[in-house]
A and B are shown apart, each in its own frame.
Chain A
Amino acid sequence: MFDQSDDAVERVVRHLRRPVPIDPALDQRVMQEIAELPTRPAASPRGVWSWLTARRQLTLTPQGALSMAAGLAAAIVGLWRMSATPSPAPAESGPRGFQFVLVEPGAANVSLVGDFNDWDATRTPMRRTSGDGLWTAIVALEPGRYRYAYLIDGRRWLADPTAPAVGDDDYGTPGSVVTVGRRGL
């Protein structure tokens, strides 16, 4: 199925890559037609003013009038609330999405396991994002310090090579730590 799709794509690509013959006189003809177009006078301030002040007739249904009134009221209330209450400061302690990335070409499945998911190997399976063994997962983390590790194929523990290692491993398996600071660190 994928091979057939690939063939079709390749045929389309080959077709699109073929050089297209262009008439050498094309440029000249286009420029001539542009030159023959009627010139348009530049908009003068007076013309703009007359357009703005010209009388027009508007037709408004009752429903349309109600909708406009409601929209206007909502806009006024919104502006009033914006000016009356200060905008909240950015949350310093809210959770932030952290992306974990692992290159493990030989793995059939990878789980991210750590303090943030109660060391439950089923809760954060990593997603293979490319055919060459790139695995990723995004986890929302509150500020704090978390121990974690990757579980490869349900049996092999692996530390994150890009993160500091745990210095107090009690269980004899590799692990890493991530520290989430305040204000988006």
Chain B
Amino acid sequence: MRHAINCGVLALLSGGLLVARATAQGTDPRLERLDQATRPVVVALVDSARAAGLPVNPLVERALEGATKGAPGEVIAGAVRRLASDLGRARAALGSGASAAELYAGASALRAGASPDVLSRLRRARGHQSVTMALAVLTDLVARGVPVDTAATVVLALAATARDDELLEFRRAVERDIAIGAPPAAAASIRVNAAIRGVRPGRP
């Protein structure tokens, strides 16, 4: 009898430990904010991404964004699914050694319209440097109205030699030009020519 009870307690404890371990690994407590119908769908997507070695925090944040904005469950699940797919494509283009920040920036660039080939070329051009800022500048230029092909060309032209702060300053310069009325494509082209030649636009 005593032996049977001990076995039962042991089984209960083991089961509890297994559940706790699964909970710790599989369910992010922040996802408790999702409604009961949406949560298991998102948890399954997050688990799949984790098993595939993808960063899961962007997925959780995307789901939380939807919850805070009151989006329907299927919209939230769709957004998380798309982002997971983009993260996977970004990793295929950037390589398995890409950091979580690089993958997230790569996913954003892909969603902005950049091709996986552009991501791979940026990776090669940056060498051992992080590609996060280059991808972010590319995406931000597209958001400002620069055609994606132009944005990719100018960032690739700068990627090999420009530091992160120089890429950021380049983006700011293009934004200033656009703000005062320059066509986005022209602003990006003029600024990249000036950056490559090391001169300021408008000066001989």
Contacts and interface: CB of A to CB of B under 8 A. Distances in A.
Interface stretch (A4-12, A26-34, A38-46, A118-126): A118-126
Contacts of B25: none
A130 B152 CA distance: 42
A170 B66 contact: yes
Given A145-B108, A179-B132, A171 B65 contact: yes
A145 B144 CA distance: 17
B94 interface: no
A168 B108 CA distance: 7
Interface string B58-76: 1011101111110100010
B8 to A, nearest CB: 40
B143 interface: yes
B159 interface: no
A168 B68 CA distance: 17
B101 A118 contact: no
Contacts of A168: 108, 111-112
Contacts of A106: none
Interface residues of B, number: 37
A118 B60 CA distance: 8
A145 B111 contact: no
A165 to B, nearest CB: 5
The A contact surface, by secondary structure, is loop
A113 B165 contact: no
B133 A179 contact: yes
Given A179-B133, A183-B164, A164 B69 contact: no
B30 interface: yes
Contact of B130 (A165, A167, A173, A182): A182
B175 to A, nearest CB: 8
Contacts of A153: none
Contact of B112 (A157, A167, A171, A181): A167
B132 A144 contact: yes
Interface in A166-185: 166-168, 170-171, 173, 177, 179, 181-183, 185
Interface stretch (B10-18, B37-45, B119-127, B134-142): B134-142
B87 to A, nearest CB: 12
Contacts of A144: 100-101, 104, 132
Contacts of A118: 30, 60-61, 64
Given A118-B30, A143-B101, A183-B164, A166 B66 contact: no
Contact of B132 (A143, A164, A167): A143
A185 B75 contact: no
A96 interface: no
B177 to A, nearest CB: 15
23 contacts: A113-B68, A118-B30, A119-B67, A120-B64, A144-B104, A144-B132, A145-B104, A145-B132, A145-B136, A147-B61, A164-B139, A164-B140, A168-B111, A170-B66, A170-B75, A173-B69, A179-B132, A179-B140, A181-B133, A181-B165, A182-B130, A183-B164, A185-B133
Interface of B: 30, 58, 60-62, 64-69, 71, 75, 78-79, 82, 100-101, 104-105, 108, 111-112, 130, 132-133, 136-137, 139-140, 142-144, 164-165, 168, 175
Given A170-B71, A177-B140, 12 more contacts: A118-B61, A118-B64, A119-B64, A145-B101, A145-B104, A145-B108, A145-B132, A145-B136, A166-B143, A170-B75, A179-B105, A183-B164
Interface of A: 113, 115, 118-121, 143-145, 147, 157, 164-168, 170-171, 173, 177, 179, 181-183, 185
